[in-house]
Structures are given as C-alpha cells and as structure tokens.
C-alpha cells in the first residue's frame, strides 16, 4: 500500500488552519534565504505559500550571496527579539564563507523550528523533545498513519546526516524500536536491510536501494529526492521493485516531501503556543 504524504500533509494543514482561525495573534514564521540557489528558492517559496494557506504571519528575508557572518547573525538577533516571529528558519545549505553551525546556534532555541540547535537535538536525545527536526518528525507522522506498532521493531536508517539520519534514528529509538544506522562505509548493506521491518533511506543516490534487499512485508520510507537526467524526480529506493515486497511504501514525489513543510508549520504552532503560555 502507498502512504499518501500529500493527503496526510493536507489534513495537517487543514487542522492547523482551523485552529489558527480562532487565535487573536497569528503564529509567525521568518524564513531567511541567502543567495539565489534555484532549489533553495523553490523550497523557501513553498514554505511561504504553506504559511499563508494556514493563516500564519510570514516574513521572507532574501539576503545577498556575499552577506557577512556578522550581518547574518545580526539579522537572526533581530528576529530573536521580534514578538511577531515564533519560528526562525535559515535555509541550508549556506554559501561556503558562512559558518552554518554558528548561525544555527544563534537562533533562540525556543524559535528553532528546524530543531537543529544543539539544545533541541540534546532534548531529542534525552527523549524529552521540544522542537524536533521536521523531516524525521514528518516520517514519524507517516509511520503513525500506517497504524503499525513500532515497539521492538527492527528499523534500519540509511544515512547519518544531522538533518535526517541521526535525528531519524533517535525518533525511532524514542518510539522504542531497535535501530541500526547505516552509511556509506557500512559493509553488506543488503544484508542489513534484509533484517529490517522498517527502512528509512536518506542517501541522495537515485534508485540505489533494490527491492530484493527489502524483507517481505517491510515498511519503506524514502526520504531521497533525486533528479534523473531526463528531469524526473525519483527517490533512493527503486520504487518499482520495492513496491512488490513492501507492505507500505512512500512514493517520490508525494511521500515524505510534503510532510517536511507541514511539520515545519506544526513546529511553528508548537513554538507559538509555548510563547503564548509564557
Ligand atoms: N535544506 C534542506 N533541508 C532543510 C531543512 O529541513 N531545513 C533547512 N533550514 N534547510 C534545509
């Protein structure tokens, strides 16, 4: 069966729009884009559109490619102190001359709707999460939609990035699954995958994961978004062969992708409610 990320994301947005319509002050999200990378520009535009759909206040801040580290940090400080803004997101990757880690650490952790600040990552690791990284949290929402109990399940996460693989593994551990993290140096990946009841892939290599590596009846969540030479978008998983063995599988596009932005809005709502309660 196919997990319909578009529908699940739309349901989340509809639910949030209903809540927000009753609020006195709107939840606010500021998105900073440095430079004019085409893919990043599309993501930032989509984030802005999603905010408007659910009735959030949104501020899109475009900065030139040659902005200095000090100027960027000053912009974040301004947003840290702006009461209309509940969430701050700096679109990654940043130009090479900027220190992304220092940028992330400068965001007020209570406004860190990406969940990348060390304080929020630390809370996730301690199983006391506050703002959780959007893509892994969105994957947990998709897994919940299958109705499958994760407790004690063998999960294999392929990829160990700070944005997806590592927080994904913590999410699954917090759900009391047994978690294996694989990466580019893992020996005999097919054999590791064959043990998995749940596979989450975030490697960025088109159609690398073959259906014959997947255990019969496994759940397959494909975080990869890769463009083929012919222009079409595909995941890390060879969908055609994997679909035949999986019990549940996410398509690309239309699986995890729409969930990342819907979850960003969820996080902004969580940050908003935390500020309103203060
Ligand atoms: N670039 C790719 N994914 C992400 C994300 O989740 N957040 C931000 N800020 N930048 C990204």
Residues 112/120, Cβ–Cβ less than 8 Å: yes
Whole-number Å distance, alpha carbon 89 to ligand 1 midpoint, is: 8
Burial-class residue 13 by CB neighbours within 10 Å (0-12, 13-18, 19+). middle
**What atom of ligand 1 comes closest to residue 135's alpha carbon?**
6
Give the bridge partners for 59, in sequence order: 30
Residues of the chain with pLDDT under 70: none
The residue whose two tokens read 């949104």 is 58
Bridge-based pairing state of the strands 154-158 and 178-182:
parallel
pTM reported for the whole predicted model: 0.97
- Does the CB atom of residue 163 touch ligand 1 within 6 A? yes
* Ligand 1 pocket member 220 (CB < 6 A): no
- Ligand 1 atom with minimal separation from the 89 CA: 9
Assign 60 to helix, strand or coil.
Answer: strand
The one-character DSSP state at 209 is B
> Which DSSP category does 199 fall into?
E
Report the C-alpha gap between 115 and 264 in whole angstroms: 9
Task: Tell the residue number behind the tokens 């590791």, with chain if given.
Answer: 192
What's residue 225's pLDDT?
Answer: 95
Kindly give the number of the ligand 1 atom that is closest to the alpha carbon of 163.
6
CB 125 within 8 A of CB 115: no
114 ligand 1 Cβ < 6 A: yes
Contact status, residue 218 vs residue 245, Cβ threshold 8 Å: yes
Q: Which two three-digit tokens encode residue 245?
A: 């063995």
In DSSP terms, 57 is beta-bridged to 28
Q: Is the CB of 91 under 6 A from ligand 1?
A: yes
pLDDT for position 159: 98
Atom in ligand 1 nearest the alpha carbon of residue 114:
7
Q: Report residue 4 as tokens.
A: 């319909």
Q: Whose CA is nearest to atom 11 of ligand 1?
A: 92
Active-site pick, 86, 111, 112, 114: 114
> Is the CB of 67 within 6 Å of ligand 1?
no
CB 201 within 8 A of CB 223: yes
Task: Beginning with the edge strand found earlier in the chain, give each strand of the sheet holding 57-63 in spatial order.
Answer: 57-63, 28-34, 87-90
Output DSSP code: residue 250.
-
229 tagged catalytic: no
Q: How far apart are CA 76 and CA 72, in angstroms?
A: 6
Q: What is the pLDDT, as a whole number, of residue 278?
A: 85
Any atom of ligand 1 within 6 Å of the Cβ of 100? no
Based on the residue annotation, tell me whether 82 is a catalytic residue of this protein. Answer: no
Q: Which residues pair with 182 in a beta bridge?
A: 158
Which pLDDT value is given to residue 196?
98
Position 5 scores a pLDDT of 98
Pairing of strands 57-63, 154-158: unpaired
Active-site residue 126, yes or no? no
Instruction: Round the CA-based radius of gyration of the chain to a whole number and report it.
Output: 19
Give the active site residue among 86, 91, 192, 236. Answer: 91
- Characterize 67-91 residue by residue with b for buried, 16 or more Cβ atoms within 10 angstroms of its Cβ, and e for exposed: beeeebbebbeebeeeeebbbbbbb
Nearest CA-CA partner of 263 in 9, 2, 7:
9
């Amino acid at each position: 069966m196919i997990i319909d990320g578009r529908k699940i994301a739309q349901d989340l947005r509809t639910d949030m729009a209903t809540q927000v319509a009753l609020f006195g002050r709107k939840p606010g999200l500021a998105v900073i884009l440095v430079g004019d990378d085409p893919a990043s520009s599309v993501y930032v535009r989509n984030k802005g559109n999603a905010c408007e759909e659910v009735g959030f206040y949104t501020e899109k801040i475009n900065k030139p490619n040659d902005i200095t580290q000090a100027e960027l940090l000053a912009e974040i400080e301004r947003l840290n102190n702006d009461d209309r803004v509940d969430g701050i997101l700096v679109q990654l990757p940043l130009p090479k001359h900027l220190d992304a880690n220092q940028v992330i650490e400068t965001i007020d952790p209570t406004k860190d709707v990406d969940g990348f600040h060390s304080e929020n990552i630390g809370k996730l690791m301690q199983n006391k999460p506050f703002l959780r990284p959007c893509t892994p949290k969105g994957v947990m929402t998709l897994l919940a939609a299958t109705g499958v109990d994760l407790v004690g399940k063998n999960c294999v996460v392929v990829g160990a990035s700070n944005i997806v693989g590592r927080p994904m593994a913590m999410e699954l551990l917090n759900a009391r699954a047994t978690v294996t993290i694989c990466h580019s140096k893992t020996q005999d990946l097919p054999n590791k995958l064959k043990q998995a009841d749940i596979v989450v892939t975030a490697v960025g290599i088109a159609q690398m994961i073959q259906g014959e590596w997947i255990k019969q009846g496994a759940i397959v969540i494909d975080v990869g978004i890769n463009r083929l030479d012919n222009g079409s978008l595909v995941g890390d998983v060879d969908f055609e062969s994997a679909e035949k063995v999986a019990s549940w599988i996410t398509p690309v596009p239309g699986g995890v992708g729409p969930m990342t932005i819907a979850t960003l809005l969820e996080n902004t709502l969580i940050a908003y409610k935390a500020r309103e309660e203060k």
